[in-house]
Each structure stands twice: as C-alpha cells, then as structure tokens.
Structure 1
C-alpha cells in the first residue's frame, strides 16, 4: 500500500469518526472516544503519565525477556551490596540478589495488587452507592452510614489493622486495601445516581415496565462508569503506596518475593552507605505513582471539557 493510499484511508476514517451526523450508535460512540483521545493527546503531562503506565505494563508482561528471574531470588553472598556495574545494572542487595531483576519482577506484584483491588472496589462501590441513590430513604441512610464508618478512619491505619488481623500475604493485603478503598466509590456512585434518578429516560424505562435492576445495570451504570474509572486512576497512586507500606512493615508480599515496599524496608539499614538498595525500588514506587496521577489528571481534564 502506497503512502498516498494510506493517508487517504486515514483521512476517510478520521472524517467518519468526526462526522457531526453519525449514522449509527456505534459510529457516535467511536466518535466520542476519538474526540476524547484527541483532547487527551494535547495534554503533554497526561501523555507522559500514559507512557509511564504503558512502560510499567510492558515491563511486567515482558519481565522474563528483559531480566533473569533466577537473579531476582538467587542469593550470592559473595556479591552482596555491590554498586551498579555491567553485571548488575542497579547493584545488589544485602543478600547478593540483583536489584534490577527484583525491580522488574516486582512490577508484576504491584500491577497484580492494583488489578485485584480495582476488581473488588468498583463492584462493591457501585453495589452500595447505586441502590442508595436510586431507592433513597432508609436504604440510603443505612448504606451511607456504613460508608461513613469506613470513611471515619485514615485509610492506611485501617488497612494496617485489617492486614494485621488477616495476616501477612499478598491476598490478605489486597483484601485489606480493598476494604479501605471502596467508600469513595460508593459516594461517587450515589451522587451520580441522584443526579439522574428523575431523568426522563429513567422514567420512560419505568413506564415500559423495566425492573429496578435492569434500569440500574443498563441505564445508570454506564453513566457512572466514566467518573468511577477516572477516580480509580487517580486512586492508583494511593493503592500502590498503601501496598508498599504494608510490604515495608512485613504485612504484604513475603520474602523472597521482590515486592518494592519490602525491598525499601530491607535497604533502610544500609541507606547511608549502600543507598541504591532502598533508593532504586523507592524511585520505582515514586515514578509509578506519579505516572498514574498524571494519567488520572488527564482523564479528568478530558471529562470536564466534554461535560462543559
């Protein structure tokens, strides 16, 4: 295919996506997504965050190709606390394990925790917030008072309490973080539902005999999801920091798993002399958190501009 033909095809698709009079619902939906992408792409900081997140996902997926799995756990005491070199790009830790390999494979643990927490908090938040906003009355009062109880405690303190009660481990850390993260999503879902509860399309669905469950799932949930996804992206940094905090205190992933928070904890004893042991995983936590924050800010800006 020649360059002229390729440019012509791209121009055709661009014109089809930006058509002001779409011929189908699918074309209209794709057009909205494409306009949102164009607005997002103009935000340099948001694109930077998007690049950081893509890089993290790529590192996690292709970790076995870019690092030696055995070097992440193999203890070579004769090579302990070595500085960066061609053999060990980020140096070695107190047990002679390669820090570069541990950081690379630690990205898998971080993304696993983030994915599992997200898979829990979004359904739980929607499951509590939607009925509260839709039915109101006693249902709203009971569900929101439960939410207020969880919101009354600092997230990290509550996560530490749950993790200590459940015991150390990634699974228990995920449960502990999820139990402290869902309340804002319930509040957000309730607010979104309240603004649309008396909308004409909801009343039309009720007149047609649609059940409450069908209205919630087909009419209100799709309208709540964009706000929930933006909030989730902004909360990713907090989830990562909480997971790292639990790992730092020994309540997250257990040795020899290369979890970033645990790596920072193991290097704090030699921070002044062998700074790389704690600093490298700390920088990984910092860069990942900033990347998710920038991505969330960009998504929020695009959402606000579309709303305006």
Structure 2
C-alpha cells in the first residue's frame, strides 16, 4: 500500500512538472510575439486603471464643477472636462471598472453556456444535436446588437441587464465551436476506451470532451472581448446601458456628441479609450490564436 501511495505521489509530481514545463514553454512563445505583448500591456494598463482608480484619479468622477465646464485639456485637467465640469481623465479611469465588469460578466456566463451546449450536442448527436443547433441558428440569424437591444429593452436599462442581454447574444458562436471540436473528439480511441470501461456520457462530456474544446473557446473568448466592449458602448450610447452619472464610456460619448465640433475632447477621449482597449484585446486574441489553435500549430 505504501509503495502504491508513493507511486501515485510521484505521478502527481511528474504531472505538475509537466504542466509547469508546458506553461513555461507557452509563456516563452508568447513573449516572442511583439503584438501579443502590446495587447497584454494594454490589458495590464486597463486592469491597473480599474484597480487603482482612486489612487490615480485627480478629481472626483461625479462631482460637478460648473466653473470649469467644457475646459480643454490642461495641466489641471489632463483630458479636459465635460459639460458639467467633471474631469474626463478621472471618469475614464472609473469607466475602466465598468468595462471590465461587463466583459467579466459576459465572458463568465456566455462561454460556459456555449461550451456546455456545444459539447453536449456534438457528443450526443441525434435529436439532441438537432434541437440545440436549431436554437443556436435562431440566435445567430439575428444581428448581435439588434438582439441585445431587444433584450435590454425588455429587461430595462442598467449595466447588469446590458451584460445579461449581451450574454444572451454571445453564447451561440461558442456552442458552434465546441460542437465542431466535440464531433472530432467523440469517436477517438481514448473516448471509446472510457466508454468500454463503463464511463457515463456525463463523465465523458465533462472530463474528456470539454477540456479538448477549451483551447479553441479561449481563443474565441479573447477575440470576442473587443466586440463585447463595442456592444456595451453601443448600448450605453443610446441610453440602454449604464445609467448616469456612471462614467460608462459609451454614455460619455453620447453626452459629448453635442459638443463634438467645438469641444471635441468630450467625446473623443472616451472614444479613444474604447479604440485602444478594443485594439489591445484584438492583438491579444490574435496572439492566443497563434499559440493555442491546434490547426495553426500543426501547420506551423
């Protein structure tokens, strides 16, 4: 018994060393991708802005200062002020928190939903696959922003409802992707061996099919984050996302569009923040695809 325990412990140590080696190799390859590093740096700045917003902020993000309303960028207000005299730089910092909150809520819900539906459909086949995929086709047939508008109009404006509405439109691509991966894996030798050993379909899907779909889902997830930000900004722009006085970037652009010709900074600065963050997520997603996509790795 002691010898068996020692063997299991040694096996676990070898697995940990192998995983650490794989992670080190992945990190080294990622560091060799300059565009991916730029995307990672932008994401790091976004995270730091959200976490340390109270320390980095130069003004109160909600306190009006009508004396300095619509002031241009200066040493006192680095990015200028809005129509109520609030510092735009400070509001962009606090808006990073809302952006990360929406992205986190959508990714944490839509990716698992799509992964489960796609893995179950691809593994089961038959009528289960047909029903799940026809439901997926219905959601894919309608443009994302239009469908999100319909859901958030029914649920009511608000940041949580906006995130829920985006989630309801974001899961179908993950389901399609997971189903395609499951169709490839479900008849492989190791899955058939698990079936012959008496493994249930639930265990096969959970322990053997879904992990094989994860790399493709992660790649898709990083590429979708920019689209999530743009959809959330679009909802905020038309007043169905985060409500005033929350410093959501889309809502800031909406209020600043009235001053775009004379006080250009009011709408331009949050728009520039959306552009930079979306670019960062796209660069990061491209790098993750190059490193994690098995088809690209095989081709390389």
TM-score after normalising by structure 1: 0.90
* Alignment match of 1:264 (pick from 238, 248, 253): 253
Summarize deviations over 1:224-244 as a string: whole Å, max 9, x none.
Answer: 111101100000000000000
Task: Report deviation, 1:307.
Answer: 3.8
Task: Report deviation, 1:23.
Answer: 7.6
Within 2, Cα distance between the matches of 1:30 and 1:307?
22
* Alignment match of 1:157 (pick from 146, 149, 166): 146
Summarize deviations over 1:34-83 as a string: whole Å, max 9, x none.
Answer: 22222211111111001101110111111111015x62100111110001
Show the counterpart of 1:171.
160
Within 2, Cα distance between the matches of 1:238 and 1:167?
22
Show the counterpart of 1:34.
24
1:38-187 equivalences in 2 (<5 Å): 38-68=28-58, 71-187=60-176
Report which stretch shifted further, 40-49 or 281-290.
Answer: 40-49
Within 2, Cα distance between the matches of 1:306 and 1:242?
31
Report which stretch shifted further, 234-243 or 31-40.
Answer: 31-40
Summarize deviations over 1:167-212 as a string: whole Å, max 9, x none.
Answer: 1000110111001110000001101111000111111111221111
Within 1, Cα distance between the matches of 2:139 and 2:105?
20
Task: Report deviation, 1:306.
Answer: 3.6
Within 2, Cα distance between the matches of 1:224 and 1:207?
22
1:151-300 equivalences in 2 (<5 Å): 151-300=140-289
Report which stretch shifted further, 24-33 or 242-251.
Answer: 24-33
> What is the DSSP-based 3-state SS (H/G/I as helix, E as strand, rest coil) of the residue aligned with 2:61?
helix
Within 1, Cα distance between the matches of 2:270 and 2:162?
19
Within 2, Cα distance between the matches of 1:163 and 1:104?
26
Within 2, Cα distance between the matches of 1:221 and 1:60?
32
* Structure 1 unaligned blocks of 5 or more: 1-21
Contact 2:223 / 2:286 at 8 angstroms: preserved in 1?
yes
Summarize deviations over 1:3-35 as a string: whole Å, max 9, x none.
Answer: xxxxxxxxxxxxxxxxxxx98122222222222
Task: Report deviation, 1:131.
Answer: 1.0
Task: Report deviation, 1:303.
Answer: 2.0
Within 2, Cα distance between the matches of 1:204 and 1:31?
28
Give every structure 1 segment of 4 or more consecutive aligned residues whose post-TM-superposition deviation is greater than 3 Å.
304-308
* Alignment match of 1:25 (pick from 12, 15, 20): 15
Report which stretch shifted further, 50-59 or 102-111.
Answer: 50-59
Within 1, Cα distance between the matches of 2:201 and 2:126?
16
Within 2, Cα distance between the matches of 1:31 and 1:53?
25
TM-score after normalising by structure 2: 0.93
Within 2, Cα distance between the matches of 1:165 and 1:255?
20
Show the counterpart of 1:19.
none
Summarize deviations over 1:251-300 as a string: whole Å, max 9, x none.
Answer: 00000000000000000000011000000000000000000000000011
